[in-house]
Amino acid sequence: GESVGLHLPTLSVQEGDNSIINCAYSNSASDYFIWYKQESGKGPQFIIDIRSNMDKRQGQRVTVLLNKTVKHLSLQIAATQPGDSAVYFCAEREGYSTLTFGKGTMLLVSP
Amino acid sequence: NAGVTQTPKFRILKIGQSMTLQCTQDMNHNYMYWYRQDPGMGLKLIYYSVGAGITDKGEVPNGYNVSRSTTEDFPLRLELAAPSQTSVYFCASSNYGTGNTEAFFGQGTRLTVV
């Protein structure tokens, strides 16, 4: 069936660097794309979402970019901090259906 | 703000035993979900509910059952535990009817079947 996947399983950055986490999706009918952060031992936490009719959305220190031509989604984190270390999942949703999650990318931030 | 509360946090079951994972939310959300997360993997949907009295299967429903008698509660039942059900289980809720995409997750239940 349709799936959402990630290019990089682990991303290591230095504190203060900008991080970019990528995601490929295959369901062109998805209406929303969402990024979640999961810290060790906790449930996923919503970060930001973007509608399929947009190509960019900014939040606090985060930006999500959507390229529908190549079915690619990215999460940019500015001035990465140690507290950003976590697993990041992209997810997609069609209409009012359920979320489909990708496998996740581990972000490791070194001081 | 309790949000989504799951109990228990940890459980060890023997093969063939049964148990119920409890989930309750206090946000009056219409949608509720059960996911399982295997090590190093994403979340797979087991069952979901769009409101009290309505449930539907997700991607991996075999070996599980659910009920939704109230808006607040969405218990997940394992009837005959198998080692393949060793996983971390997450309950979540959302209010998608308002156009909001955010789902709120519980802290998870780590289940080991031996």
Considering only CB atoms, B105 lies closest to which of A43, A98, A103, namely A43
Beta strand segments in chain B, E = 4-7, 10-13, 19-25, 31-37, 43-51, 54-57, 64-66, 76-78, 87-94, 103-105, 109-113
Compute the mean pLDDT over every residue in chain B, rounded to the nearest whole number.
93
The answer to whether the beta carbons of residues B47 and B103 sit under 8 Å apart is no
d(CA A49, CA A89): 12
Across the range A3-18, mean pLDDT stands at 76
Decide if pLDDT at A1 tops 50.
no
pLDDT tens digit sequence for A77-107: 999 999 999 999 999 988 767 888 888 999 9
Decide if pLDDT at B93 tops 50.
yes
Across the range A1-21, mean pLDDT stands at 76
Q: How confident is the model at residue B39 (pLDDT cuts 50, 70, 90)?
A: confident
Q: Three-state DSSP class for B98?
A: helix
Q: Residue B91 has what pLDDT?
A: 97
Considering only CB atoms, B58 lies closest to which of A43, A98, A104, namely A98
- Chain B interface test: which of A52, A53, A99 (most B C-beta within 10 Å): A99
Using the beta-carbon criterion (under 8 Å), do B41 and A93 form an inter-chain contact?
A: no
Residues making up chain B, counted from first to last: 114
B3, B78, B103 from B74: Cα distances, Å: 14, 13, 15
Q: What sign does the dihedral B38-A96-A28-A56 (CA atoms) show? A: negative
Q: Which two tokens stand for residue B25?
A: 């939310």
A74 touches chain B (CB under 8 A): no
